[in-house]
């Protein structure tokens, strides 16, 4: 997910904080609305253009943590493959990078690739 600085400022978050990274700076947005900005050049004057985008830095978790989140109804994403998984009415949907369902499995037959099982995961809110 990529957002402009203005979108980050206006975004409400549920976690304690979110980290965002741009080309030349990093932003930490706190739940209370406060913001910290780190620049590559601490003594320079900082400016942010209206169209500069920042990418959300996601926390990597183990497969077990990801599966717990999936059971709670959250979407999970494999770092290894980029595929996303979500559970809808007992069916596990597999989504590609543009959120199109590319496959679906019942809970009893759901499977993951070996590199996904060994790798890290994201929990998407």
Written as six digits, the tokens of 105 are 């499995």
CB atoms within 10 A of CB 78: 21
Burial class for 21, CB neighbours closer than 10 Å (0-12, 13-18, 19+): middle
Burial class for 97, CB neighbours closer than 10 Å (0-12, 13-18, 19+): exposed
What value does the mean pLDDT take over residues 104-113? 80
Q: Are 69 and 62 in contact (CB under 8 A)?
A: no
Domain locations along the chain? 2-57, 63-124
Name the pTM for this structure. Answer: 0.69
Q: Are 3 and 57 in contact (CB under 8 A)?
A: no
Whole-number Å distance between alpha carbons of 8 and 35: 10
Determine the pLDDT at residue 110. Answer: 67
Determine the pLDDT at residue 107. Answer: 77
Which 8-state DSSP code applies to residue 40? Answer: S
How do residues 47-104 score in pLDDT, each as one tens digit? 888 888 998 898 999 999 999 999 999 999 999 998 999 998 888 989 887 888 888 8
Whole-number Å distance between alpha carbons of 40 and 29: 18
Q: Is the pLDDT of residue 1 over 80?
A: no
Determine the pLDDT at residue 102. Answer: 87
Written as six digits, the tokens of 49 are 């253009």
How do residues 5-37 score in pLDDT, each as one tens digit? 999 999 888 788 999 998 888 999 999 999 988
Q: Is the pLDDT of residue 125 over 80?
A: no
């Amino acid at each position: 997910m990529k957002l402009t600085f203005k979108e980050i400022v206006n975004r409400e978050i549920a976690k304690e904080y979110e980290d965002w990274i741009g080309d030349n700076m990093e932003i930490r947005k706190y739940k209370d609305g406060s913001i910290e900005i780190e620049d590559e050049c601490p003594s320079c004057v900082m400016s942010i253009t209206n169209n500069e985008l920042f990418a959300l830095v996601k926390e990597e978790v183990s497969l077990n943590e990801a599966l717990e989140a999936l059971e709670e109804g959250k979407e999970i994403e494999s770092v290894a493959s980029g595929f996303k998984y979500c559970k809808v009415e007992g069916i596990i949907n597999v989504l590609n990078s543009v959120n199109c369902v590319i496959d679906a499995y019942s809970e009893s037959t759901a499977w993951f690739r070996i590199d996904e099982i060994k790798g890290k995961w994201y929990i998407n809110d």
